[in-house]
Amino acid sequence: MKKFRIGHLADIDEKGARTFLVQDTEIAVFKLSDGSLHAVENRCPHKGGKLSEGMVCGTAVHCPLHDWKIDLRSGKVHEPDDGCLNTYPTEVDGNSGDIYVLIAG
C-alpha cells in the first residue's frame, strides 16, 4: 500500500466532501457527522455521476444523476440497484490533522 497526503482535516466540512486526484484517479473523501472519513472513487458505477456532488445520508451517498444509494464504507450499491465502486482506507495524523489515503500498488 502506498500512502498519499491529500489534505487537512479542516479542509472538509462535516457531512461534506472534497475531491483529490491521486495517481490519475479522482477520489472523493467524505466526512460524516460522526467525524469519520470515507474515501471512494468519485464515479458512480451506473453512469459515472460525481459522487462528491451527491447528498450524504447516514453512511451512504446518493448519486446526483439517478439517485443510486452507495454505502461509503463498503462501496456497495444499495438494492434494488446493483454494483460496487473502489474504496480507499484513510488515516489522519493526530498531531497535524493531515489526511492520508492508502492505495494498493
Assign residue 43 the CATH number of its domain.
2.102.10.10
Res 1: pLDDT: 87
| Number of compact structural domains in the chain | 1
| Domain coverage including residue 83 | 2-103
pLDDT, residue 42, reads: 97
pTM, whole model, 2 decimals?
0.91
Picking from 6-15, 37-46, 78-87, which range would have the lowest pLDDT averaged per residue? 6-15
- Cα 98 to the chain's mean position, in Å? 16
**Positive or negative CA dihedral for 19, 9, 96, 39?**
negative
* Radius of gyration, alpha carbons of the chain: 13
How far, in Å, CA of 105 to CA of 101, rounded? 13
